[in-house]
Structure 1
């Protein structure tokens, strides 16, 4: 049974999202895709076992997060590369949030190497905003339809 099948989770967009994103390797594959890596060998280089990588890529394609596109290097056989769809591109704030959380709550040597910047090269960060004004996370509350 999937967690999103349980009554408490049925209407929760977080539970629904975890059906696609809930595995460690999935998020690391998406990290690499957002860094411009899109070939099987690129993803394999992060240490994911081949069978797991094949499974995760197939699921991400089936869920509309990645799209397979054929390519062929000169003198080589045709292969698939994996390109972010709009749904995949829309996951960048999730990765940025995870990176910020890891920097704050799981610091280690080398932490903070993931940076986010705009087209001009300026650092960017995520925040809650209401009417153009930043809102402290302490002042933000969460609820969802289906449960009060």
Structure 2
């Protein structure tokens, strides 16, 4: 199995050059989790992404489905557009003024596993006695979709699997 991201490749970053260290020694200000959370970490942004993944693309449709104030939706869509996660694409219905719909970019689509992982977590831990209200299925075969985490060698990494964090550059060390 090929690594999804070149940065995870052992060929790119041989183990021999990576010293084991305490996670607390890494510079957390350059953390990718922190950067991603700053970009999409509020509830409205995640819900906008969820709806975009499910084909709701027009402003009025998003506002109605989410029951979100228009000014809040405008801010979230503007932020997603400025971050390169969403493209604002004009359209015009016959006899109407030009309007815009919002389409996920490749970078935006890369967040699908994150949103699906949140769905799985909610289904497992927050759905209550009635269970989840829906499930996501693969359109091609009809089977349920789930998120798996694997290492670059293809090994399944479940929530109990021990992981370690290694620095990739000397500049990542804290002060």
**TM bracket (short chain):** 0.7 to 0.9
Alignment match of 1:117 (pick from 135, 138, 141): 138
Distance 2:60 2:142 in 1: 29
Alignment match of 2:104 (pick from 81, 84, 101): 84
Where 1:119 maps in the other structure, the secondary structure is coil
* Structure 1 residue 126 corresponds to structure 2 residue 147: yes
More strand by share: 1
Task: Provide, for residues 54-105 of structure 1, a one-character-per-residue CA deviation record: whole Å limited to 9, x for no partner.
Answer: 0000000000010010001111111011000001111100011000000111
Instruction: Identify which of structures 1 and 2 has the higher relative contact order when contacts are C-alpha pairs closer than 8 Å and 6+ apart.
Output: 2
Structure 1 residue runs of 5 or longer lacking an equivalent are 1-6
* Structure 1 residue 19 corresponds to structure 2 residue 38: yes
Distance 1:116 1:97 in 2: 14
Distance 2:156 2:77 in 1: 37
How many residue pairs get aligned? The number is 142
Say what the alpha-carbon RMSD is for the aligned residues.
2.1
Show the counterpart of 2:53. 34
TM-score if structure 2 supplies the norm length? 0.73
Alignment match of 2:159 (pick from 127, 137, 141): 137
TM-score if structure 1 supplies the norm length? 0.85
Answer whether contact 1:70 1:80 (CA < 8 A) is retained: yes
Distance 1:86 1:135 in 2: 25
